[in-house]
Amino acid sequence: MLTKLNKILNKDLSALSYKIFNDTLFLLLIAYFMLLLAEGLIPGFSSSFLSFTKMTLLIFANLGLVIYLGRINNVSFSALEIKKNKLRLALFFIFFTFLMIRALYKFSVWEIVIIIITSLAILYYLYKIRD
């Protein structure tokens, strides 16, 4: 099926599709970020209007299309370099910290310590086994 699709997608159409799906992915991620921020401020606010599960699946589907079309157009997907993306990382870290504080706000000190240590241990383990 993919070879048939590759034949249908000529060079220009696949390039156009790649660019458009990149745009839609960007906009979906902005929408997701805003809805997550609203949900962090008022639990149930965003989820009463739409499903985060469906939105996550839509983003992954869009991402899949971007990767597929990127391969057709010989786009290389390299990992982000920390030095060149400090601002993005800083913003992500601030947003992540806000969500964590919001989620852990009402737990006791000991519960917060246990949750953080366990989460860091899992992240460290995932980092070690990534290769």
Partner 1 sequence: MFDLTKEIKLNPDWQKRYSLLHFFVYFIFLVSAVYFSYKVLFPSHLFNFFFETPDATKNTIVEPRSPENITLKKGNIKGGALVFDTALPNYEGDFSQIRLNFTLENNSPAIEEGKISLHKSYRAFFYPEGEPITTPFGDSGKFPSGSLLSSGNSVYITDNDKIYPIDNEITFSSMGFDWADVIPASSDEIGAYKKGKLFTIAKPHPNGTIFATKDKGKYYLVEDGKKRELIGQPVINSYLKRNPILADEKSLETESQCSLKENWNIFNRSYSCLIPLNNLQSLAGNDYQYEIIFGGDVELKQADATFEKSFGWNNLMLSLSNIKKKIFNANQTQ
Assess 20 for contact with partner 1 (CB under 8 A): yes
Interacting residue with partner 1 among 1, 7, 8, 23 (CB under 8 A): 23
Residue 52 found at the interface with partner 1 (CB under 8 A): no
Under 8 Å between Cβ of 14 and 73: yes
x/- mask, partner 1, residues 28-47, rule CB under 8 A, reads ---x---------xxx-x--
Query: What is the total count of residues that contact partner 1 (CB under 8 A)?
Result: 21
Span 102-131, contacts to partner 1 by CB under 8 A? 105-106
Within 57-86, the residues that bind partner 1 by CB under 8 A are 73, 75
C-alpha dihedral, 68 to 131 to 55 to 6, nearest 10°: 10
Q: Is 27 in the site for partner 1 (CB under 8 A)?
A: yes
Say whether 55 sits in a helix, a strand or coil.
helix
Nearby residues of 45 by Cβ (< 8 Å), 6 or more positions away: 38, 39
Angle, helix 11-41 to helix 86-104, in steps of 10 degrees: 40
Our CA angle for 7, 3, 14, nearest 5°, is: 50
Q: Which residues bind partner 1 (CB under 8 A)?
A: 12, 15-16, 18-20, 22-24, 26-27, 31, 41-43, 45, 49, 73, 75, 105-106
